[in-house]
Amino acid sequence: MKNIIFIISLMVLISCQEKSSTKTIVKMETKEFVWEAANIYFLLTDRFNNGDTTNDVNFGRTKETGKLRGFEGGDLKGITQKIKEGYFTDLGINAIWMTPIVEQIHGSTDEGTGNSYGFHGYWTKDWTKIDPNFGTKEDLKELVAVAHKNGIRILLDAVINHTGPVTDKDPVWPSDWVRTGPQCAYNNYENTITCTLVKNLPDIKTESNENVALPPQLIEKWKAEGRYEQEFKELDDFFARTGHPRAPRFYIMKWLTDYITEFGIDGYRVDTVKHTEEFVWQEFKQECDFAFAEYKKNNAEKVVDNDDFYLVGEVYNYAISHGKAFDFGNKTVNYFDKAFNSLINFEIKWNAKQMAEEAVFEKYDSILQNDLKGYGVLNYMTSHDDGQPFDKERKMPFKTATMLFLTPGTAQVYYGDESARPLIIEGTVGDATLRSFMNWDAINTDVETQKIMKHWQKLGQFRVNHTAVGAGKHQLISDENGLVFSRIRNADKIVAGINLSKGKKEIDVASVFENGAVLNDFYSNQEVNVVDGKVTVNSEFDIVLLELK
C-alpha cells in the first residue's frame, strides 16, 4: 500500500513539475509583506470581468446613457474568477482595490456628459447593502476568502463625503444630513470642505455633532427589505459602545466598518479626503482599527498576518514633494499622523516624464526614508479620474511598468495598464474614456499585448518577492552605459539595471553581493556567478533584475 501511495505521489509531483515548466515566468515565494512596498491593483468593479450575467440589470436601470456611462456587467464573481485563474498572482499583485460596491442610486442623471448611472460606485444610496449589479454578501465573502488564500489583501473604497445625486428615483437626504450648496470653489480650506463637489451631489454635514434621525427613505427601504429592526439595533449598539453623537458621519462610519467585521477586508482607500475635516479621518481610523481587531479576535483562523488595518487617502493633487503638509492656500493639513498610512501620489507621472530615472529614484528614496519614514505614498501612472495619465496614447507601456514598479513606494496598477488597454475611446466625454471594459480579447490573442504583459509580470513578481524594491534603501551603483542600482531592506537585497545594452553586459555587484555568490537574473531567468565583484549577463533584454539564488 505504501508503495502505491509513493508511486501516485511521484506521478503527481512529475505532473506538477511538467505543468510548472510550461510557465515562462519563474515565481518565488513571497518572504515578507509590507504595505509600503505592496503591488496594488485598482479596478472598476463594473468594468473588469463579468462573472455573473444574471445580475447585469437591476432597479430598471435601462435608460440609454452616454458612451461608457452605464453599467457594463463587471462584478465580484468576475474578480474572484480571475484570482482563481492566477491572473493577479502572475502579475505579482498582493492587494486589490476595487471601486465602491455599496448600493448605488437607482435612477440616472446627466452631468453634462450624457445620461449616467452609478456604475463607478461613488453615488451611494445605501451604505449597508451591496449593489446587486456587483453581487451579494456571499460573493464578497468568497472573494475575500479566495484572495486571502492566494496571499492577496482586499481594499474597499470608502465614501463619507457625499451621497449620490438626486434623481426621480432617489430623493435628497434630510437637510440635517446634507447640504445642497454652495458648490465648492476650491481656493481655500473652507470652500473646499463645506460645499458640494459638483452640482447635484449633496454634501454630508461631516462637521456636525448634532443628533439626527435616520433618513425616512432609508427607513422605508429597510422595512420593505425586512431588516429595519436589525439595522436599528446595530446602530443602538454602536452608539452605546462608542458614545459618539448620532451625527451623520458616525452613522456612515458604522456602516463602513461593518465590512471589516463581517468580511475581513484589509483596508480602505478613502475618497475625497480633502473635502472633509481632518478630524473625521482620525475618528474613522479609530473605528477601523477597533473593527479590525474585533474581526481578528472572532476569526483567528482567517487572519492573514499581524498587519494593522490599512488606510490610503485620496487627497486630490497631493504630491510626495509636499511631505506631510498639504497646502490649501490659507491652511496646511497633515493627513498622515493619527489617520492615513499613505496618500495617493499625484506627482509620480510628472516626475517620470520630466526627470531622469535615477533622479526620480533618489528623490523618492530620500523623502520616504526621512520626512515620510513610517508612512508611504501610493504611486500610479493611470487612474479612473485623471485625464492626464503618464501615457494616454499607450506608446510607452514598457517604461510605464519599469518606472511604476522600480520607483520606491507602493505601486498602483490601474486595470489594463499591464495590457495597454486603450485610454482614448471615440465617442466618450470626460473621464469615461479612461473606463472602458478590460481588454481580455487582446490579452488572449494579440502577440504584442502578450509581450507587454510579460514585462509587467516579470517586474511585478520581482517586486512582490522583494520588499527591498519598494521599501528598501536605494543606492546608485553606476549610471554609465545604463543605470545600475541596489535596494536593501534588512536581509533582503537586490541589484537592478535598466537601459542597459542588449546582449552581453557586465554588472558591478560588489557593494551588495560577495564573490562566489550565485545570483539569478529574474528577468532573463538565468544563473550567474559573482567573480571579482561582477556578474556577466548575456540576454536579449536591456534590463537585469538580480537576486540571490
DSSP string, 136-201: -HHHHHHHHHHHHHTT-EEEEEE--SB-PPPBTTBPPPPTTTEE--PBP--SSSHHHHSSBSSTT-
> Would you give per-residue pLDDT tens digits along the chain (549 residues)?
434 433 334 444 444 443 333 334 444 444 689 999 999 999 999 999 999 999 999 999 999 999 999 999 999 999 999 999 999 999 999 999 999 999 999 999 999 999 999 999 999 999 999 999 999 999 999 999 999 999 999 999 999 999 999 999 999 999 999 999 999 999 999 999 999 999 999 999 999 999 999 999 999 999 999 999 999 999 999 999 999 999 999 999 999 999 999 999 999 999 999 999 999 999 999 999 999 999 999 999 998 889 999 999 999 999 999 999 999 999 999 999 999 999 999 999 999 999 999 999 999 999 999 999 999 999 999 999 999 999 999 999 999 999 999 999 999 999 999 999 999 999 999 999 999 999 999 999 999 999 999 999 999 999 999 999 999 999 999 999 999 999 999 999 999 999 999 999 999 999 999 999 999 999 999 999 999 999 999 999 999 999 999
Q: What is the pLDDT of residues 155-164, one digit of tens each?
A: 999 999 999 9
Q: Which residues pair with 203 in a beta bridge?
A: 162, 179
pTM for the model: 0.94
H helix or E strand, kind and range, residue 528: strand 526-529
Distances (CA, A) of 404 to 132, 452, 477: 34, 14, 20
φ/ψ (deg, to 5) at 341 = -70, -30
Rounded Cα gap, residues 444 and 8, in angstroms: 34
Rounded Cα gap, residues 261 and 156, in angstroms: 13
Furthest C-alpha separation in the chain: 80
**Cβ neighbours around 472 below 10 Å, total:** 22
Residue with cell 446587486: 132
pLDDT score for 28: 41
φ/ψ (deg, to 5) at 455 = -60, -45
